[in-house]
């Protein structure tokens, strides 16, 4: 009797640009290349081996540096991924993305995609044109992970530099080096042997991770981040609100402190019911705040706290529900 080979898992790649798709006329240029200059077909041509792991469909959604990604792009991306999984169109999804704001997109997806299939965000620190470009191997490993049943039920994952990281806690921690994506306290989920994913543990859940259903959300409100420092005035905070911010995140010092002017302004705003969230600017640790000043972001950094606040406001949450989103203790 003839035996039939099992069909390969179906992996969809959404390409958005970044250094992984970056190009320069010099192969030693790691600084002034153009991010988002080659398309998905060129990225895939660099790793024909990816076809051994999956039947791949690629779609070019954007081709930009990730500092250009807008909140409307996040909504669009998340809705596409949810649709792929809900309608059983893909067994896994890979998103190629610039590393500068990769953690924001990955975090957004982690909070808004509600399916167990593997979802992997891949970037690179060296452009496609560079000596020792890291993009091709990162992409190969990302595809292999998206095609693997071991990647199921693990939330959104980030793949760079041979490591598998949880999107919830991971951040870009170095502007230049390959080992930039880290969750300093929480560690990584696993790594790769060649392109084979190896996880340290079975799937686990982030404590008290909020989930948002975005199926009826068509836009996200403006939320600005203000950086606290010695002598910081409240001028920029007032201007942000005048210009349309519906919530603000303060990148506060230490465990949630801001300058006297910012704290006084935050207290007034909180009394009026305007949402103010205090995240720690230290990069690690827990930010806590007395309720009269606003909400402490707990373990969430400022750029991720902004994502939560946008989603919470778009979902119509009140102050208490907003605070509950940051209860990571
Ligand atoms: N500037 C690039 C970007 O975020 C950096 C990178 O992808 O590594 O698009």
For the chain, report the end-to-end CA distance as a whole number of angstroms.
58
78: CA distance to ligand 1 center in Å? 20
101: CA distance to ligand 1 center in Å? 8
pLDDT tens, 131-145? 999 999 999 999 999
Is 90 exceeded by the pLDDT of residue 98?
Answer: yes
List Cβ neighbours of 195 (8 Å cut-off, separation of 6 or more). 49, 53, 137, 140, 141, 143, 144
Whether 19 sits among the annotated catalytic residues: the reply is: yes
Question: Which two structure tokens, joined as six digits, stand for 23?
Answer: 């190009």
C-beta atoms surrounding 187 within 10 Å: 14
Phi, psi of 107 (to 5 degrees): -65, -45
pLDDT tens, 252-308? 999 999 999 999 999 999 999 999 999 999 999 999 999 999 999 999 999 999 999
Q: What is the pTM of this model?
A: 0.97
Which of 19, 99, 105, 295 is catalytic? The answer is 19
Residue located nearest, by CA, to atom 7 of ligand 1 = 98
Q: Which residues have CB under 6 Å of ligand 1? A: 18-19, 35, 65-66, 98-100, 123, 125
127: CA distance to ligand 1 center in Å? 9
């Amino acid at each position: 009797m003839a035996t039939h080979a099992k069909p390969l898992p179906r992996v969809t790649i959404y390409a958005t640009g970044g250094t992984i798709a970056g190009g320069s006329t010099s192969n030693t240029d790691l600084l002034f290349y153009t991010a988002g200059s080659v398309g998905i077909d060129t990225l895939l041509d660099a790793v024909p081996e990816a076809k051994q792991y999956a039947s791949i469909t690629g779609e070019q959604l954007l081709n930009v540096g990730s500092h250009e990604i807008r909140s409307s792009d996040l909504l669009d991306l998340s809705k596409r991924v949810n649709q792929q999984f809900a309608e059983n169109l893909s067994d896994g999804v890979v998103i190629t993305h610039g590393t500068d704001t990769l953690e924001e997109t990955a975090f957004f997806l982690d909070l808004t995609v509600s399916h167990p299939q593997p979802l992997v965000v891949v970037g690179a620190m060296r452009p496609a044109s560079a000596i020792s470009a890291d993009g091709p191997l990162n992409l190969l490993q990302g595809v292999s992970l998206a095609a693997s049943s071991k990647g199921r039920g693990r939330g959104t994952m980030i793949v760079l530099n041979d490591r598998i990281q949880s999107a919830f806690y991971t951040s870009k921690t170095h502007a230049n080096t390959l080992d930039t994506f880290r969750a300093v306290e929480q560690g990584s989920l696993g790594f790769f042997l060649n392109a084979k994913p190896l996880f340290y543990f079975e799937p686990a859940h982030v404590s008290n991770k909020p989930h948002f259903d975005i199926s009826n959300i068509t836009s996200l409100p403006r939320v600005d981040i203000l950086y606290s420092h010695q002598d910081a005035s409240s001028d920029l905070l007032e201007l942000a609100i005048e210009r349309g911010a519906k919530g603000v995140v303060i990148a506060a010092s230490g465990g949630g402190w801001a300058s006297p002017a910012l704290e006084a302004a935050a207290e007034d705003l909180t009394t009026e019911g305007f949402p103010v969230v205090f995240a720690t600017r230290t990069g690690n640790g827990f930010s806590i705040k007395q309720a009269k000043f606003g909400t402490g972001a707990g373990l969430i950094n400022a750029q991720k706290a902004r994502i939560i606040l946008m989603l919470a406001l778009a979902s119509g949450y009140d102050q208490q529900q907003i605070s509950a989103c940051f209860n990571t203790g």
